[in-house]
Each structure stands twice: as C-alpha cells, then as structure tokens.
Structure 1
Amino acid sequence: MKVPASPPPQKKLLEILKSGDADKITLLFDRTVGPCDTQGRYLHWDKLRHLTVPEGYDPELYWLMMRDARNRISRGLPFSDKSGAPFQFCMPDTVIRDILWISENATGAIEADSKISDPRTKQTYLINSLIEEAISSSQLEGASTTRRVAKEMLRSGRRPKDHSEKMILNNYSAMNFIHEYKGESLTKSMIFELHRIVTDDTLSDEDAGKAGVLRGEHDDIRVYSHDDKLLHTPPPYKELENRLQMLCDFANMDNENEAYFIPPVIRAIVIHFMIGYDHPFVDGNGRTARALFYWMMAKEGYWLMEYISISRIIKQAPAQYMYAYLHTETDSNDVTYFIIHQLEVIKKAIKDLHGYLADKASEYREAERLLEKSKLSGVLNYRQLGLLKNGLDNPGMEYTIKSHQNSHGISYQTARTDLLTLSDDFKLLRKYKMGKKDVFVAPANMIDLIKVR
C-alpha cells in the first residue's frame, strides 16, 4: 500500500491568474465544475490525475476547480489534526442521496417484515447480527478463527480456546454493551469501559494492564501497512483527554439547538473516523471505533443497524477502508472521503440484510413444504423449523440446549423443550450424552425422516 499523492495546493490558482494565460483564466470562472466529476464521483487527486478530464482542462486545473467547488460547500468540524488544522466535510448531492436512502431503509422501511417485527423472532436475528459483527470486526484486526468455529463458541457458551477466539468473544460482549447503553449520553468512562471489554486478556505482555486506559508517553503508536510502510502517526498522548472529551461533546450535541444541523449518520461516521485518527489506545482502536459507530446509530433511532455488520463489508476490501483515511489526511483534512466510503458500506450491509431475510424466508418455506404433508405440519415453531433446515444443510451438525438458547435468546426450559420434542417425540434429531450434557445431532437421513411423518 502506498500513501496517495498529495493534491496541488490551492495557491496555484493565484499563479494561473498571474500567468496571463487568457484561456485558463477564463476557465477559472467556469461554475459548471462541481465537487464531483462528470460521473458523480468524489475523487481524490491520486486517481483523478490519471483520468481524462473535460476539454480545455488539464488534470491539475480540473482538480483545482473541483477542490474550489468543494471548499465553497464545506463545513467545519470541531476537531483538528495533530498540527492544529481543522477537519471539514461537505455534502454533495451524492452524499445527501445516500443519507436519505439510509434514513428510509434503516429506520422503518423493513419493519413490516414479520421476521424482524415479530418479537418472537426479532431476538434471533439480533443475536445472529451481533455474532456476525463480532467475528468480522475481530478478523479485521487479525483474529484467524473460522466463522463456523466462532459461531459454535458463541452459541454454545464454551470458553475461548485461543487469542483469536477471545477477541471474538470480547467483541460480542462489546456489541451487547452498546445495545444496553444505546439510550445514554456518551462519556469518557463509557469509551474506556468499551475498550476494556474489546481488549480484555488479548493485549500483549508488554501492554498488559492498558485495557481501558489511554496510551501514555512511552507508547510509540504508529499505523503501518501490511508491507510495513508508515501510514499514520496519531496525535501526542498529552492531547488525548481533551480530544476524547470533544468527541463525547460532539456525540451528545443537541442538533435541534445547534447553529447548524449535522445528520446523525454523518456524526456516527465522524466519531468512527476520529477514534481511528486519534488512536487513543495501544490496541483495539478499530474495534472501539466501529462499536461507537453502532452506539451512535442506535441512539439516533436507526434500529435496523443493530441487524447488520459493517465489519463484514469492510473486510471484503480492507484497503479501501484504509485509503478512506489516507485520502482525508492528504487532502485538506476532508473527511468527506471517509463519509462516502462508510455510506457505501452501510448501504451494502442493508441490502445484504434484505437478501438474507429473503433467503431465510425461502428456507422456512422450504422446510414448511417438507413438513406440510406430515403430522408435524403446523406443530413445530419457527425455531424448530429453522433448526431442521440448518440440519438438512449440515448433516452431522451438533446442537445443545445451551447453543439453542443462545441462538434465540430464550429460556433454558424453552430451548430444552424445543430439542426434546424434535428428538424424543418426533425422532428427527439423535440424542446422546456427553458427560452430563445432552447433545443433539442432525442425522444424514433427516429428509427421509421428515417425509415419513
């Protein structure tokens, strides 16, 4: 990974005015050049310089005009970089469009879906999403456990076997912490506790005891690429207390009474960005930043965000995530690059949820079709139908009362009744003892057992 090329400075516009080049001077007053290119893209100079630009322009002049258009609509943020220069953002039409789409699709558009709105099934989907985000966020920062093994650990409630599994368990606990505190104002104490949770028993021996503690004078924190290139040096440790308090003030601001309105989605993304930029902790900054993003979205009523995983989308193209930071740092502290990246991540995660719900609905219908001619028709509940479909797809899969309980957020007795009904009453699961614990197995011939019912 390379650091993007820095854009030409705006002072070059003055050089053009002084040059006497009539053709270029005329173009300086062309207001058809906006903050985005002709395809609606908010490009960084590092890419724009290689592209074909409108007739009459060279890449440098086109960039300068585009940057000038951005400056005219930019808005300041109450944060500065390590040299004291302010961060800013702007809202071109593409950003406004995406914010409106997310607001519509993350606050109520999907509420009519019975699997989400039904309180009996709502908890199941919430738990699935918490597990998915915990796994993906940990894998972004080096956890190597497979998704199947990680899900088995979280659902069974067993202790983690290694460092990677502990990271995932911590992230799962952090997401539950966010769910519990989504109605509260953000405090530094909450951020420290959140960091303590995500890094519990996973820090190196050298950093032991620094969970939930700001980095100090002797913590040499820098961000490197996978090929060991220095990408970012965060602000000095002495500034962190004040910077964290400013972040809390920003999160808690009352949009109704402020001088100007910042959409909640933008505020959530900026909080994510600033934790990544400040790197206030020796480790776990990314996980803390993404958890705080979820907290802000949940606090502002974007209830559907609790059911999606942004880390899973980020993990598909981690370099783009890093470049969103680098583009901001190398171009006038313009956080718009990071905002646009995260808006795309959120949109894709929401669309994936729509697809996931459609697939699950299809799976339930398929299981119901298999059962409709048997005496089981109308007898099994949605949890049992889901388990049977999972067993049909995964012969030999093992279930326990604890794993079934954790998967659906139900009581121990309800989970026990579900499984014993499937094993003892209908003989669709095989039951055996492992010590004092009952284990239920999906037999390879489950489909034949269903057909004869």
Structure 2
Amino acid sequence: MKKPPKSSGRTDPVFDLLARSPHKERLADYLALLKPFDDQSRYLPFEALRYRWAAGLDANLCWALVKKARAAQYINLLPLGEPLQWGKYVQTPLAQKTLSVVDRHTSTAALDYMTSQIGERMHFSYLLNDLIEDEAIASSQLEGAATTTRVAKDMLKHQRQPRTPDERMVLGNYRMMNFAWEQRHEPLSVALIAAIHQVGVEGIDDEQYCPGVFRAKDEVVVQDGAGNTVHRPPPAAGLVARLEKLSDWVNLSDGSTLENNYLHPLIKSITLHFALGYEHPFRDGNGRVARALFYWLMFKNEFAAFRYIAISLLLRNAPVKYGRSYLQTEADELDLTYFIEFQCSVILRAVLGFTHSSLWERACSR
C-alpha cells in the first residue's frame, strides 16, 4: 500500500493559534465553529455571528475558523471590479431548495402545460394583469417613484400618457420588461446593456439619466437614507472593457449538469444582477437595469414563467435587506453568498406565491 506523503512541517496559522494558551483550553468550542453555516444552516456575516459565539472566545479566531470552512467550499463565479477580485459563493441549503422549486415550477415546459389547461385568452389576460405591470410598478417604487399601484395600473391599462416623472418611470420600466422578453434570444453585449437602459429611462429626465450612455466620470456613488456613501463603483476608466468581459462570461455555455463547471441559470442571473449593481455603469437607473437583466437571462434560459413572477414586489417591501445584501458581499471580499441567499429567499417566496395563485390552481385542477 502506498504511503501518504510526509508533512512539510509547516503549520496552519489558525490551528497554530488554537494550540496556544488560552485558546487550547477551549479547543472543542473553537473546532465546533469550523463550518460555513450556523446551527440553523444560516450563512451569516461576521456582524451577526459575533453575538452568537460562546462567551470568552476570541472573535477574530472564531471568524478565521468560519472563513476557513467557507473557503474550502467556495465556487468562483467571475472576476469583478478594478483591481479584479473574484466573486465567489457557497452553495447553501436555501439556494438548493430554491433551485429545485424554480426547476419544477417556472420552466417553459411547465408554463406551456399551465396555459394549455387554462386557455390562451386567460393566459393573455393574466399576463396583462400581473408580472409586466407589477414588476414595472414595484421596481419603480423601489427606486423612489411616488405613484400608487392603483394609479400606475390605471395608466398602463388604459394606455394613458404619463403625467409625472414618477409615472414616466413606471412606463419606462414597463417597456424595459417587454424589451427584456423580446431580446431573450440575443447574446449579452455592451450594446444590449445600453439599449435596455435607454428603453427604460428615456423621456423621464434625459439630462439626469443620459439614456443609454455609460458614465465617463467617477462622480457616481451609492448613498444610504442618511446620505452616507456606502458604495463607490469601480472607476469609469475601463468600464466598457469590464462590461465586455461580463458579457463574455454570461454568454459562455454553462455546461451540462454532469460537468464540474455547471452553473445553474438562476445563480448566474442573480450574479448578473449583482454585477450590474456593483459596476453602476450609468448615472442613474442602474437598479432597474440590473433587475431587468436578471429577468432577461432567466427568459433566455427557458424559465418563461418568470414573466408572471414580480420579484420587485418583495424587494420593495424589504429595501434595507436588499441593500444590506450588497454591502455584506462587498465587505466580505466579494462573497456573493449573502446576495444570492437574500435573492433566493425572495425568489422562493415569489415562485411559491405564483404556484398558489388561483390561475395555477385552476390549471392543476383540470
């Protein structure tokens, strides 16, 4: 029998610390933390975990053990920013459940079966009444549009011309969602990203938004409700080149489910959502473009039922958690697991809401 190779004699600095006093007296407590999740299978950031560790443990050492366990399971997704840094994630129980539900209920095949049961007329009526309107309205409200859902729906239903900038924002998002569906067979490109922005914001305030034009300066920042800067996007210099690399990554084949490099379209779509928000390529309207591109990529991968699933309805009700998931990812070396986890929790609720709708139940009862 072949013997294993001899150790080089080098010690891991984390385990070296555990062998020293006073840490070695609590060795069992420390080693129990060598896992990516907490005891409830949650993927929590340092700010949340540090209050859950046993009294007397060194918080920095505890975090080093958690990070060591996570690093062993990281899946590299794509390089982001300038200088380039790898965005990565850990597959979590919540993500696995969400992927399963999405695969079962939102594929084009599942939607075709449902519409065959309820008839094309009701299918078209439901389309008008739900996703495109609801997503357009909620996405606009998430960005600060003050119009009510009832007034916005009335405008879209009766094809009334918008009277205010907020209504123009809703109409722009409505057009953008339709455009994302129409362009689902096209590869991602810098030109397509610019075109989605132009369709979505043109006519709202062209001087403010500069429709379809990428920022050329570094004056764009993301601020919280108190006016504090919470994110400075990568520099404008090299922006187009980075978007070209992002497009190349999106257009790469994900491989078959049997290959090691397979990446589920939902994870890829969420990552694209994050990457657009992180790059912030436009002066304004970046969040709307990021969410529209999420839908575009899901449509492209034959998850047509997402035409009926308005993610922004739930994001609008949790804007602080939505923003925090961006910040937690950026603060922790571009660990996208935080952002993916939050998006999966929202998508899971939205898909289950869709499957419990009267339309779905009517189709399944036939």
TM-superposed deviation, 1:13: 2.5
Distance in 2, Cα, partners of 1:253 & 1:116: 36
TM alignment of 1:125-140, pairs within 5 A: 125-128=126-129, 129-140=131-142
**Cα-to-partner distance string for 1:89-138 (whole Å, 9 max, x where unaligned):** 12133322322222222225566545875222212222221000000001
Amino acid at match of 1:251: V
Counterpart of 2:324 in structure 1: which amino acid? Y
Letter of the aligned partner of 1:98 in structure 2?
T
Q: Distance in 2 between matches of 1:117 and 1:183?
A: 27
Please say if residues 354 and 360 of structure 2, whose CA atoms lie closer than 8 Å, have aligned partners that are also in contact: no
Matches within 5 A, 1:240-255: 240-255=239-254
Equivalent pair of 1:145/1:165 in contact (CA under 8 Å): yes
> Could you tell me the percent identity over the aligned residues?
33
Report Cα offsets for 1:317-354 as digits up to 9, x if no partner: 10000000010011121001000111111111112223
* Cα offsets for 1:364-396 (capped at 9, x unmatched): xxxxxxxxxxxxxxxxxxxxxxxxxxxxxxxxx
Secondary structure of 1:211 counterpart? coil
Separation in structure 1 between the aligned mates of residue 253 and residue 354 of structure 2, nearest angstrom: 31
**Any idea what SS the aligned residue of 1:143 has?**
coil
Partner of 2:300: 299
Question: What's the TM-score, normalizing by structure 2?
Answer: 0.87
Q: Could you say which residue in structure 2 is the equivalent of 1:230?
A: 229
1:138–1:287 Cα contact (<8 Å) kept: yes
In structure 2, relative to structure 1, the CA distance for the partners of 1:83 and 1:27 (3 Å cut) is farther
User: Which position in structure 2 is the counterpart of 1:260?
Assistant: 261
Give the superposition deviation at 1:59: 4.5
Which of the pair has the greater relative contact order for Cα pairs under 8 Å at 6+ separation? Answer: 2
1:182 — aligned with what? 184
Does the C-alpha gap of structure 1 residues 151 and 81 become closer, same or farther in structure 2, counting only changes over 3 Å?
A: same
1:349 aligns with 2:315: no
Structure 2 CA distance for partners of 1:34 and 1:94, relative to 1, 3 Å: farther
Alignment of 1:181-200 (within 5 A): 181-200=183-202
The runs of 5 or more residues in structure 2 that have no matched partner are 1-11
| Contact 1:313–1:349, Cα closer than 8 Å, also in 2 | yes
Counterparts of residues 79-118 of structure 1 (less than 5 Å): 79-107=79-107, 112-113=113-114, 118=119
* TM-superposed deviation, 1:201: 1.8
Separation (CA, whole Å) in 1 of partners of 2:271 and 2:31: 32
1 CA distance for matches of 2:25 and 2:357? Answer: 53
Alpha-carbon contact 1:271-1:289 (below 8 Å) kept:
yes
Contact 1:45 1:63 in 2 (8 A): yes
Measured in 2, the distance between the counterparts of 1:233 and 1:12 equals 33
Q: Distance in 2 between matches of 1:299 and 1:183?
A: 6
Matches of 1:83 and 1:24, distance apart in 2: 42
Aligned to 1:145, what secondary structure does the other structure show?
coil
Amino acid at match of 1:343: C
Q: Point out where structure 1 has 5 or more consecutive residues left out of the alignment.
A: 1-10, 362-453
The alpha-carbon deviation at position 311 of structure 1 amounts to 0.6
Q: Is the 8 Å Cα contact of residues 94 and 344 (structure 2) preserved in structure 1? A: no
Q: CA deviation at 1:242?
A: 1.2
Can you list the C-alpha shifts for 1:7-50, whole angstroms capped at 9, x where unaligned? xxxx9736725745462684599477421100011001111112
Cα distance in 1 for residues equivalent to 2:229 and 2:83:
18
Contact kept? 1:272, 1:292, Cα under 8 Å: yes
Task: Give the secondary structure class of the aligned counterpart of 2:72.
Answer: helix
Change (3 A) 1:35 1:109: farther
Determine if the alignment matches structure 1 residue 148 to structure 2 residue 150. yes
Deviation at 1:236, TM superposition (A): 0.5
How far, CA to CA, are the matches of 1:252 and 1:63 in structure 2?
36
Q: CA RMSD in A?
A: 2.7
Deviation at 1:221, TM superposition (A): 0.3
Partner-residue secondary structure (3-state), 1:238: coil
| Structure 1 residue 69: Cα displacement | 1.0
SS of equivalent residue, structure 2 residue 238: helix
Match of 1:428 in 2: none
8 Å Cα contact 1:133-1:312 kept in structure 2: yes
Please say if residues 78 and 246 of structure 1, whose CA atoms lie closer than 8 Å, have aligned partners that are also in contact. Answer: no
The count of corresponding residues between Structure 1 and Structure 2 is 348
Distance 1:12 1:356 in 2: 54
Offset of 1:283 from its aligned partner? Answer: 0.5
Contact 1:234–1:277, Cα closer than 8 Å, also in 2: yes
Q: Which has the larger radius of gyration?
A: 1
